[in-house]
Amino acid sequence: MGMGQVFSENGKLTPVTYVKCEPSVVCGIKTAEKDEYDAVVLGFENLGTRATKTRKFRVVKEFKGDVSSVEIGSPVDVSLFSEGEKVTMIGVSKGKGFQGRVRRHGMHVARKSHGTKYIRHGSTGSIGITARVQKGIRMPGRMGCDQVTLHKREIIKVDATRNFVAIKGPVPGAINSVVFLKKSA
């Protein structure tokens, strides 16, 4: 939803990110007998009239854990979390397009004297027997759109009526992107 500020009782300022948590539905259960591991499959954003026989939700994600007390069709909402609790956030970072080696990998630039075009990446390979560019050389390319996981982020506020959570610090991804929250171990 966006960022904001929360003041504590002693006047300390805490930057928070407000995350809207729409209710999810348990749309599947995986058990060790059938699938070799235990997991709960959650569906988010019902497709409604656009639903097909195999796809009823826009986002489907499975979380490994205990499945003994979970039933298919039961809702999962923001009341699962409490204030002061630590959570792990999983999201996709903002995409930044095609970038050079300086911005993408933080490489140094050449000296800025005598008219040089100083943003150059220098040598890319070796001469001699191989005479080719080795795999894994840091080169220009697409930057961003990577999965980012942030561990042990504190929940500052939970509002069950408006379905949002205030989490301390930043959250990966652009505005209105999907972020998964789970309790930290």
pLDDT confidence band for 149 (50 / 70 / 90): very high
User: pTM to 2 decimals?
Assistant: 0.78
Whether the per-residue pLDDT at 136 is higher than 90: the answer is no
53-67, 74-88, 90-104: least confident range: 53-67
Model pLDDT, residue 13 = 95
Whether the per-residue pLDDT at 114 is higher than 90: the answer is no
The answer on 103 and 50 residing in a single domain is no
The answer on 125 and 63 residing in a single domain is no
Count of the separate structural domains present in the chain = 2
The answer on 153 and 89 residing in a single domain is yes
- Where in the sequence is the domain holding 108, given as residue range(s)? 98-143
Model pLDDT, residue 58 = 84
Burial zone of 89 (CB within 10 Å; 0-12 exposed, 13-18 middle, 19+ buried): buried
The answer on 75 and 116 residing in a single domain is no
The answer on 155 and 116 residing in a single domain is no
Six-digit token string for 106 = 């933080």
The answer on 62 and 30 residing in a single domain is yes
The answer on 82 and 35 residing in a single domain is yes
Task: Give one DSSP letter per residue of the chain, joined into a string.
Answer: -EEEEEE-TT--EEEEEEEE---EEEEEEE-HHHHSS-EEEEEEEE-GGG--SS--EEEEEEEES--TT--TT-EE-GGG--TT-EEEEEEEPPP-EEE-HHHHH--------TT---------S--SSS-SPPTT---SEEE---EEEEEEEEEEEEETTTTEEEEES--SS-TT---EEEE--
The answer on 175 and 134 residing in a single domain is no
The answer on 92 and 103 residing in a single domain is no
pLDDT confidence band for 115 (50 / 70 / 90): confident
The answer on 44 and 23 residing in a single domain is yes
What average pLDDT is seen over the chain? 88
Whether the per-residue pLDDT at 104 is higher than 90: the answer is yes
Higher-pLDDT residue of 116 and 21 is 21
The answer on 91 and 164 residing in a single domain is yes
- pLDDT digits 0-9 by tens, 6-47: 998 899 999 999 999 888 889 889 999 999 999 999 998 878
The answer on 63 and 21 residing in a single domain is yes
